[in-house]
Amino acid sequence: MPDLNRQELIKILAITTHARLAGVDLSGLNLSGLNFAEADLTRADLSGVNLTNAYLRGARLEEANLEGALMMNANLKEANLKGANLRRADLSGAILLDANLYNTILSGTNTDRVKGL
C-alpha cells in the first residue's frame, strides 16, 4: 500500500524543492508529468508507477525499486540511479544524459529512443 497518494505528493512537490522521499512507498501510483527535480527517492518503492513525462533531473534514485515502471519520455538527466532496479521498466524516449547507472538492473527494460544510454 502506498505511503502517499498522488494529491498528497502534488502538495509536497508544490511547496518544496529537493523533496525528501527516501524509502517512501509510491508503488502503482500515477505520477505522470510530476516534477521530482533534485528529489531524494533513495530506496523508494516505485514499482509499477507511471512516470511518463515526469521531470526527474538530478533526482536521487539510488537502490530504488522501479520494476515495471512506465517512464516514457521522462527526463532523468543527471539522475543517480546507482543500484536501482529497472527490470521490465519502459524507458522509451527517456533522457538519461549524465545519469549514473552504475549497478543498475536493466534486464527486460525497453530502451528504445533513450538519449544518453
pLDDT per position as a tens digit, 48-91 = 999 999 999 999 999 999 999 999 999 999 999 999 999 999 99
- Distance, in Å, from the CA atom of 79 to the CA atom of 104, rounded to the nearest integer, reads 12
3-state class (DSSP) for residue 10 = helix
Please check whether residue 102 is in contact with residue 82, taking contact to mean a CB–CB distance below 8 angstroms: yes
CATH number, domain 1-117: 2.160.20.80
105 Cβ contact partners less than 8 Å away, ≥ 6 residues apart? 84, 85, 86, 87
The structural domains of the chain, with segments of one domain joined by +, span: 1-117
pLDDT per position as a tens digit, 94-117 = 999 999 999 999 999 999 999 998
- Model confidence at 2: pLDDT above 80: no
- Distance, in Å, from the CA atom of 14 to the CA atom of 88, rounded to the nearest integer, reads 30
- At CA 7, angle to CA 44 and CA 35, rounded to 5? 60
